[in-house]
Amino acid sequence: MRLCHNHFSGQIPSSLSNCNQISFLDLSYNLLEGDIPNEMADVASYQNLFFNNNHLSGIPPWSVNWLLDALWIQNNRMTFEDIEPHFVGYWSFKYSPQDSTETRIDTVLSPGSNYQIYAGTLGQFTTYSWIHNGQVMTLPDNTDTLFLNNISYADTGIYICRAHNSLCTGPGYPPMALIRRPVHISLNTVGFIEVSELNPIQIYPNPSKDMLTIESIRPISNGTIEITNLQGQLLLHQNCENGKRNYMIDFKPYKSGLYFLYFKGDSLYCKTKNHSLGSRPC
């Protein structure tokens, strides 16, 4: 049964498995999506199956069918988990290439937050290589999920994952890589310091290219203001004047980048570490 090049869309109907005397089925070059029905794996008459060049995202193992000679599933959205069960010696097994995995993500994160990125390639024999801004990261090769903790400016940029499978390197099997679509991380540098309800502190403008204003509803006493860079280097240490609520900090001497402000004092009831920022553009 040759049904290729017909612009068929939607999912393959499971009722197709009722045609259990078919030996040749060609559904290639359509717009089919979803999983190939599990019922089709129970049809023992198939000898040649062509599902290539669709948008299919899953396939059952055809282990019960020893007559199957040709299985083509390339140019779909299969993962290594889908492909692995089919390295059983078909006369013609074509699986490469496949579409990239997951979806592209553009996200803006707060400094100090946590984030994770899933590769989405799966597979028992899969290894992973994570790439950040074009540079390969030093991670164990079984890292299918990337965990980013205490996000800082150094974590911004584009992440991708290139996955390989050892079964795709044997004799007669071409190597294949699955690529996780890019994740673009930016840092949120606009807003207020995280403070308690009893002692709100406002910082503006943020980002700042010259003077940074700090305002507190309650007077600051026996306190200090410190500024550090991302490496923790202390750039400013200033004692607070007792009873004073407003402070101006000159940011013109600092290069463009991300900085942290720390407040310490008897009258301060706020958690400010990793939440206060100041920057100026080049």
CATH of the domain at 176: 2.60.40.10
Q: Is residue 4 part of a domain?
A: no
User: Of 41, 64, 94, which residue constitutes the final position of a domain?
Assistant: 94
- The structural domain count of the chain equals 3
Same domain membership, residue 116 and residue 182: yes
User: Of 133, 160, 187, which residue constitutes the final position of a domain?
Assistant: 187
Q: What is the pLDDT of residue 266?
A: 53
Task: Let me know: does 24 contact 92? Beta carbons within 8 Å.
Answer: no
Cα–Cα distance between 10 and 56 in angstroms, integer? 10
Q: What is the pLDDT of residue 218?
A: 65
- Tell me the three state secondary structure of residue 39: helix
Long-range contacts of 72-79 (CB under 8 A, 24+ apart): 72/28, 74/98, 75/99, 76/51, 76/52, 77/101, 79/120, 79/121, 79/122, 79/123, 79/178
Same domain membership, residue 267 and residue 198: yes
Q: Which residues does residue 220 pair with via DSSP β-bridges, in sequence order?
A: 244
253-274 pLDDT, tens digit per residue, is 877 777 777 766 654 434 333 3
Same domain membership, residue 180 and residue 253: no
Same domain membership, residue 238 and residue 209: yes
Same domain membership, residue 273 and residue 196: yes
Task: Count how many Cα atoms sit within 13 Å of the Cα of residue 52 in the half-sphere of its side chain.
Answer: 15
Percent of the chain with pLDDT over 70: 84
Q: Is residue 157 part of a domain?
A: yes
Q: Is residue 99 part of a domain?
A: no
What range does the domain containing 215 cover? 190-282
226-259 pLDDT, tens digit per residue, is 888 777 788 888 887 777 778 888 877 877 777 7
Q: Which residue has the higher pLDDT, 183 or 242?
A: 183
130-175 pLDDT, tens digit per residue, is 999 999 999 999 999 999 998 887 898 999 999 999 988 766 777 8
Residue 218's domain is classified under what CATH number?
2.60.40.3080
Q: What is the pLDDT of residue 197?
A: 43
Q: Is residue 170 part of a domain?
A: yes
Q: Is residue 2 part of a domain?
A: no
Same domain membership, residue 110 and residue 34: no
Cα–Cα distance between 234 and 70 in angstroms, integer? 66
Lowest average pLDDT, out of 5-9, 97-101, 214-218, 247-251, goes to 214-218
Q: What is the pLDDT of residue 221?
A: 67
Task: Let me know: does 131 contact 137? Beta carbons within 8 Å.
Answer: yes
Q: Is residue 140 part of a domain?
A: yes
Residue 36's domain is classified under what CATH number?
3.80.10.10
User: Of 46, 64, 94, which residue constitutes the final position of a domain?
Assistant: 94
Q: Is residue 61 part of a domain?
A: yes
Rounded to 10 degrees, the C-alpha dihedral 101/104/107/111 comes to 40
